[in-house]
Amino acid sequence: MNAPIITTRYRWVICALLFFAAAINYIDRQVIGILKPALQEQFHFDERAYAAIVFSFQAAYAIGLLAAGRVMDHIGVRWGFALAVIIWSFGAMAHALADWFPWLSLPTVSIDPPAIVLLGGATAGFAIARLVLGLGEAGNFPASIKTVAEWFPKKERALATGIFNSGTNIGALLTPVLVPWITLRWGWQWAFIATGLLGFAWVVWWLMSYRSPELHPRVSAAELAHIQSDPPESSVRIPWRRLFPHRQLWAFALGKFMTDPIWWLYLFWVPDFLKRNHGLDLKTMGLPLVVIYLVADVGSIGGGWISSHLLKRGWTPNSARKTAMLVCALAVVPIIFAAKASNLWVAVGLVSLAAAAHQGWSANLFTLTSDMFPKQAVGSVTGIGGMAGSIGGMLIALVVGEILQKTGSYVPIFLIAGSAYLAALLVIHILAPRLEPARV
């Protein structure tokens, strides 16, 4: 009698690890957005200075992404991901020391007039902590996307990406609950310290749990066969110079460049928008922010589900991914009315819809890398695209800071947000009309 075939589902445990890493990643990066009004009041920095602090994070994030994908492809995600989380956790905790070195200064960029300016004191301290945080956090998505490519067949990747990416929304959801509670009891420094410690706990869990699927003792032969059910791919390492000539890379990179900045806008400026337009403070903005990111969480999973569902019904990857992305792009458009909404919950509803649509868009955009590139290039492609998105985030930080400093209005800012995704989808379709695999 033949032994029964045991089918395990350990790949979903790996997906859960990615989910929690994404949640911690977004908790750490969003703390400063929640505390922006209180920190501005205590340290007296204006909109341009806050934009420069955000710019520092984005610049480091872009530099980190330039290397992170290559690191993940070179040393593997087990140790590469652990290293990234350790670095960003130190960076998160370093914010608590921002006002300890009053002699600190850091050069940054001004756009009106164009110039290099110096940040000093606590402002420079926050900017330097953001640099370390950005360098580490750059490893999160290249590592996660590469892990999904290694652990899931193509028909499950959009769903797995949507699930782990929804962790970003859980992190963004928990932050406005945890941070005000910690700050009001123990001070703003402990908000950074307590959230930074979460990353070290995750590293222990990751190193204890993660092995490649071929070597993992908890993966059955049946599950391994399912994971490897796609046609085999070459394992030869692909140098960057062979990636840049391909339109598929530029489709992904420009999609990130045009739409990632809108998500940074939500993370770093929505608390200020709620305070400026609706008078909320640290004690009262928690519920609206929880609603925004709870709805965004649904969008992340829903966007991945749409394309996966269409694929199972026989749609091509090209039509399934782009249909899901079109739905998401259209759902962002109503945010153009949010800045003029007099009712708090109408404004929250419009921002929530846009945030959900972004996350659904992002789940499908990330999946394009594994649709168009072999597994051994996914980390590098994701890193390059993420770098482009972070450069866009650097620019949006300066633009938003300048708009708010001069006008105090979110109307032009939300006009940019509402139009970015349709324009990006058009660019992606022009560069990759059929999502054909890149011949690298």
Minimal CA–CA distance to 288: which of 345, 354, 336, 340?
345
Minimal CA–CA distance to 255: which of 59, 165, 434, 389?
389
With beta carbons less than 8 A apart as the criterion, state whether 31 and 109 touch.
Answer: no
With beta carbons less than 8 A apart as the criterion, state whether 22 and 167 touch.
Answer: yes
Which positions ≥6 away from 383 have C-beta within 8 Å? 65, 66, 67, 68, 69, 70, 72, 138, 142
Q: Angle, nearest 10°, between helix axes 47-75 and 247-278?
A: 150
Three-state DSSP state, 121: helix
**pLDDT, position 4:** 44
Q: How many CA atoms lie within 13 A of 188 on its CB side?
A: 21
Intervals of the chain under pLDDT 50: 1-4
Q: Which amino acid makes up residue 171?
A: G
Please, what is the Cα angle at 320 between 316 and 326, to 5 degrees?
A: 145
The per-residue pLDDT of the chain, averaged, comes to 88
CA distance 235 to 353: 41
Q: Which amino acid makes up residue 106?
A: L
**pLDDT, position 176:** 87
Three-state DSSP state, 408: coil
Paired tokens of 5: 């075939």
- pTM for the full predicted model: 0.78
CA distance 140 to 370: 17
Cis peptide before 113 (omega within 30 of 0): yes
Each residue's pLDDT tens digit, 61-119: 888 887 887 788 888 899 999 999 999 999 999 999 988 766 566 666 555 655 555 56
Which positions ≥6 away from 171 have C-beta within 8 Å? 22, 23, 24, 25, 26, 27, 30
With beta carbons less than 8 A apart as the criterion, state whether 161 and 306 touch.
Answer: no
Domains assigned to the chain: 11-229+240-431 (1.20.1250.20)
CA distance 188 to 38: 9
DSSP sequence for 380-399: HHHHHHHHHHHHHHHHHHHH
With beta carbons less than 8 A apart as the criterion, state whether 428 and 251 touch.
Answer: yes
